[in-house]
């Protein structure tokens, strides 16, 4: 069977000063690394692993690896979301705004679009660059929502928030919902199906010229948590996202407008989620901005004596920090003020390390 090699950056260092040629900058962000794990894969599994110093990387690159190395270390241009520009050289917060009657964390809190719009404005004031408005719960075990209902839920909220300080993302798997949402002012599509649910979503996204988040999942929301299985979760999610990027490009979506997300909790066991978090930086060699959403998810409960969803703030912040330490560009969270504060402190630490001594 044919083999190929994947690159996973590791050996993160505080600062690049005095280490010319020995360290590289991760995906245009605030993190620098000194080593790379070369993963040899056969089919969908790793068969060998070798840790090498960044200084030795050049000598090991064939054409395909050179492309991955370039993708891994290149700056990510800012996201242009309508009139708003979101810089990707520092981590950004995407606030979750569920406008579903059954959403697990906000259940029943939003009686109408007015309350939702206030919550969105609060998130913007607290530091969210993007607000992800969703009208269909994709929680494990949930059933699909009719697109007319989904549109009726999200459109009034998007209209009210579109002129505010944050860009609006539409969290949907459906082309018609995205089309109407973009008409109402949404400037990013967040698709947990990665264009596998509704073939029209790719056309709508391409025609609108808006960026899209392609998220990995295994199985349908209804059954995905029943018995998730992988031979090698990190490698399989990587190859799957690579394939979905190619599919999106083939459908006319420019590569510069594609973001990727490994889909924490979507058809994954606790062990799978933890392995993805530990290896997260591998996804930068796909060359697309990296989004991560672990906020209030079950894995946090599983590691903290089954804490319920509204008592998972500490774990959510721990995972957001773990993500940005590995160069995630956007973290999707419920608790915007608390996460924004954690990221500001993290920024302070990075800025100190990255300021030359005088």
* Binding positions for ligand 7PM, rule: CB under 6 A: 96, 104, 137-140, 190, 192, 213, 215, 261, 263-265, 291, 293, 295, 297, 332
For ligand 7PM, give the closer residue by CB, 138 or 285: 138
Is the CB of 290 or the CB of 340 nearer to ligand 7PM?
Answer: 290
Nearer to ligand 7PM among residue 14 and residue 306 (C-beta) = 306
**Which is closer to ligand 7PM, CB of 296 or CB of 350?**
296
- Which of 215, 202, 292 lies closest to 254 in space, CA to CA? 202
Q: What is the dihedral of CA 68, 69, 75, 80, to 10 degrees?
A: 0
Residue with smaller CB distance to ligand 7PM, 135 or 265? 265
Q: Which residues are catalytic?
A: 297, 332
Cα separation, 206 vs 198, in Å, equals 14
In whole angstroms, how far apart are CA 59 and each of 74, 192, 299?
19, 38, 40
**Cβ 284 to ligand 7PM shortest distance, Å:** 16
Q: How far is CA 306 from the centre of its chain?
A: 25
> What size, in residues, is the chain?
358
Which residue number, 238 or 264, has a Cβ lying nearer to ligand 7PM? 264
Least spacing, CB of residue 319 vs ligand 7PM, in Å: 10
């Amino acid at each position: 069977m044919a083999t190929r090699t994947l690159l996973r950056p590791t050996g993160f260092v505080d600062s690049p000063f005095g280490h010319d040629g020995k360290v590289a900058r991760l995906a245009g962000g605030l993190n620098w690394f000194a080593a790379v794990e070369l993963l040899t894969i056969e089919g969908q599994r790793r068969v060998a692993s070798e840790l090498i110093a960044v200084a030795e990387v050049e000598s090991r690159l064939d054409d395909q690896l050179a492309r991955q190395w370039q993708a891994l270390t290149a700056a990510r241009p800012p996201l242009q979301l309508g009139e708003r520009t979101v810089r990707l050289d520092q981590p950004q917060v995407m606030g979750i705004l569920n406008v579903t009657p059954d959403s697990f964390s906000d259940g029943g809190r939003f009686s109408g679009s007015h309350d939702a719009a206030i919550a969105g404005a609060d998130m913007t004031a607290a530091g969210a660059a993007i607000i992800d408005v969703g009208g269909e719960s994709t929680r494990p075990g949930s059933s699909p929502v009719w697109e007319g209902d989904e549109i009726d839920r999200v459109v009034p909220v998007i209209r009210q928030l579109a002129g505010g300080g944050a860009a609006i993302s539409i969290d949907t798997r459906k082309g018609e919902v995205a089309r109407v949402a973009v008409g109402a002012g949404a400037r990013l599509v967040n698709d947990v199906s990665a264009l596998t649910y509704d073939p029209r979503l790719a056309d709508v996204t391409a025609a609108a010229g808006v960026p899209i988040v392609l998220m990995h999942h295994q199985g349908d929301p209804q059954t995905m948590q029943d018995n998730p299985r992988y031979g090698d979760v990190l490698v399989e999610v990587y190859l799957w996202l690579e394939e979905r990027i190619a599919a999106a490009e083939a459908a006319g979506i420019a590569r510069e407008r594609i973001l990727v997300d490994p889909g924490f909790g979507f058809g994954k066991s606790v062990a799978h989620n933890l392995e993805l978090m530990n290896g997260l930086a591998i996804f930068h060699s796909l060359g697309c901005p990296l989004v991560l959403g672990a906020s209030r998810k079950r894995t946090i409960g599983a590691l903290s004596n089954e804490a319920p969803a509204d008592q998972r703030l500490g774990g959510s912040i721990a995972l957001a920090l773990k993500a940005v330490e590995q160069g995630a560009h956007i973290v999707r969270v419920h608790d915007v003020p608390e996460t924004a504060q954690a990221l500001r402190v993290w920024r302070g630490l990075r800025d100190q390390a990255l300021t030359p001594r005088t």
